[in-house]
Structure 1
Amino acid sequence: MRLYQKNWRKIFFFLIIVVFARVSAQNPEEYNKIYTKTYIDISQKDFPRALKIADSLFSISETPRFKVRSLMLSASLLQQSGDIKKAIGYAVTAQQISNESDDLIWKAKISGFLATQYRQLKLFEQSKKYIDETIEATKKIKDQKIIDQTMGFIMQEKAYYELEMKDYTKSISYVLEAQRYFDLNGQTNPFIFANNNQLLGLNYYYLKEYDKALGYYDIALKNLGQMPDNFMKALVINGIARIFIAKKDVGQAKKRLDEAKRLAEESSYLSLKSEIYETSQEYYSLIKDIDKLQETKVKQDSIIDKIETNSSSFISASVSKLIKNNDDIKKETEKKNIAIWIALLLIISGIVYFFLYRRKQKDNFNKFKQFMENQIKTQDLNFEIPPNNIDNELHHETNYDNRSEGSEQNTMMTPATEKKILLKLEKFEQSKLFTRSTVSLPYLASYCNTNTKYLSYVVNTYKKKDFKNYINELRIKYIIDKLKNDPQYHKYKISTLAEEVGFSSQSKFAAAFRKITELSPSQFIEHLKKSSNFQAK
């Protein structure tokens, strides 16, 4: 019957907690009361019950923020009990929820918590990474009071890190910086101030400034005031005991140590127990109680083994997995970012290419237009050469006498011979003989009834080019004329056009075409088509 009553009381009490939590969890003020009482008071006296309350808070939470807070309450409790693996697991789950809801405040808090866990595991690189994440999240928060509060916690974490590194002066500077931020925030939570003063006391203890350390510990006890017994109070009293041990004040040391032991025995906080056992060994060493010293050492070793087992298990089984997951997420994010940048570059490249292409097209069309205008204006560019007759001979004679200054007169050639060669060339230009692939300087000299020397002289002097370029120009002008006047030629391949006018290869034809028109054959045909369509309209 008594057992039934005992079990019923437990069930009834749990139901009350759940119902109270359901009503209160959605109200920030009421939720904070449950959270604080569970974390500071209940966890000290009944750890399993505290965990159940935290789980209940999560099950009835209706918003991401309350879910995250309940998960972080569980994580904090599990961290105290030494179950690092579960503590970080809860924190990572909370982090995922906060990421989905884009809750910057809790992003910062969770990153700070993870920084602490990895620091305690001596994984300082991971710890620094989470501190950096906390700072980055804090930069995006708009509420200055929350920024100040978060920065205060960051400074506290940095102080703990420097304490681990045995740089006590630097640790003190971070504690004071944390206090400055809390003052800016208007912080009134006595637990936070007690934590700061406990940290200052511990640093000054290690610096052997015992009176200063004792002063800060006394302030910490005043901060805690009428709060229920908790692990912070135990740490403060333990710190005072260590100072009296250092001062060899056995009476005061025993009084404080006994009180700290009582609080530690009630707690599931493994690190706290280890600290108390460490101080106990210092005390028993002072009073030379070897048996008690050995007994306490065994107890501490047992606690340390448990902490290290949990830590080692986590490091070997979980950290590598978490780091891999984080790396995978990072790589996936990097891939997405790379894909986005590639897409942007392609778009930008496409736009640039489009404008450059349009500009090139415009330039090409201007070149085409200029060429066509010059062809109309300049006889040299017009393939329609007037027939050779007597009426034009005077015209030719006039032109022949207007040779450019500086052209060296071939004294072996008479003006009559020059005229005859020029008339023959005119006849040659009106023919299609230049389209033959076999045409050569000797062939044309034979056609003009002269020798190659005279012919070269006349071509160079009057046509202002060498034989090869002279023939190429005739061929290109001929094919342009065909393209202009016969649309059928637009359908021919470039190689066919090249073959028709006697070029041995398409590349030579294209090079000669570009030299004369500044356009490739295909570009010229494209603009010619556009021009023809425009005129047709």
Structure 2
Amino acid sequence: MLNFTQYCYSPFFKIFILLFYFSTISSAFSQTDSLATKSYDELVGLYSSKIGKNPEIAIVYMQKAHQLAKQKNDTKNIAKTLYGIAFCNFYLTNNSKALQDVEMAIEILSTQETKNSALLSHCYNLRGMVFSDIREDSKALDSYLKAKQYSKNLINKIKISTNIAFIKKMHKDYKEAIRIFKENLLIVEESTIIEETKRRYEVSILANITETYLIMNEATSGNFTKEARYYNDLALQKYSKNEDTVLYYFLLINEMMILFEEGAYDKSIELAQEIVDYVLENNDENSLCMAYFYIGKNYAKLKEYNRAILFFEKANGIIQNSQRKYPIEKLLNKELALSYTAIGKIEKGQEYFDKYITLVEAESLDDVKVLNAVYAKNDIPELRAELDRLKEIILSERKKKQQLYLIAFALVLVLIISFIWYRKKVKKIKQRITEVLQKVSELERVEAEEKNKVSIISEKVTDEKAALLLEKLEEFEDKREYLSLDCSLSFVAEKLESNTSYVSNLINNYKNKTFKSYITELRINTALIRLKNDGKLRSYTIKAIAEEFGFKRQETFSKAFKSQTGIYPSQYLKKLREDLEVN
């Protein structure tokens, strides 16, 4: 699991959402030693060709284009180039300069009689990204909402929506953030935009989904490493190093983190070192800080604390000299506290622990509301207990036996508690299985009675049409046509020679349930009876059993079975096999 409890890292992946208002201008110009002879359009083309690979060069082209726009007093292009310069500075973590330039662009655009809505939307969106990068999320949200007002086309709305989802993610609304990311991904996939642009957006969103799952590893009780692995692999398949080096290395940062989560510490270190080599050449302090941090985390896991401290301190040096607000600063101090204490430097460890506490206490009001209980009741006490344990081991070897006894006692206590919990769980499952078997017996009794009694639907239902359809529905049930994999509302309507709306209302009114609940209940009840009485069927895999009863996916079958019976199919089958062995 991840060893951090909040946010993981700054908004790496929002900067993937490149704005393509320059895309109609050719970027196929070759670079020469002098920019003096270049036209405005040529400079913009050169900028577009470099922004995804080398923003330090791209900003030179945009600054020259800005000079040309000022010479011609072209306010539209002045604003556009200010935006481009701001975007480069955002890439390079020059946030104060980025904010200054984008504010100037917004001021120019806002004073024009005819508003350039697209460019204003881009500017406000970029301003929001800068605010988010310096952890002023309330201002970021205001900027995104302003960008939304000016946004006219679908893709720009997706950019803004993705950035708002990022804020939701940063404040632990993970499920909602993932829902928005996946919804946007589907929209992009089905869009008709240029293929290269489409893939860039797809990879950006996939990277955000990956990051969210990685953060959820620690913030929730689940383990989402497999999901993170799936989406990051998908992103890496779609994008190569040659297409956009900056974007590619951000994906490698995710890969580095996933390898750490999978316990492949040596591979994670090797990949982190590759990232370090790249970012040192390209002045990317954000990626460098993250790479150093994870090299340190990997070495700490390998109990090579001196090497871990070396890289933690490198990351700390970047943070102390940066304009960016790094959420990992608190976590870095925590790791430094543990590592220094582990090598016996207790005072140094305490110093970083005090810094960790100070940073926890300095959380913004929004974060305190969400995270205060977790930090106060869980993280800090656990960390203090771990530090105290390490101090005792280092300061007094004489207490080693006492420590071992305490640990042994704790383990025994955990085992006892686990055993009691397990017994209670097993008892609860057995009770549910007994209830399910009783239900099966009742279903078998009702089924036998149904075979022997004559249908009297027409006597109970006064609506002749409804009575006729209910008789057909009864025949549909008797033939067990609901077990077809193709069984849908339209399928049933066709069998009953009616329309979907009428059939749906019929089931709602006379069966007192939705169509989906009706079909699912029939299938699960049939499964319960047949599995009890069919030994051959019991030997099938869960997937094959699911298909036998009309479910296309094993997961859907298991979920429906658990929802209706309170137990999983595997537990039911196990009980049936045990009873068979006893008999």
Larger helix share, 1 or 2: 1
* TM-score computed with the length of structure 2 as normaliser: 0.45
User: Which has the larger Rg?
Assistant: 1
Indicate the structure whose relative CO is greater, using CA pairs within 8 Å and at least 6 residues apart: 2
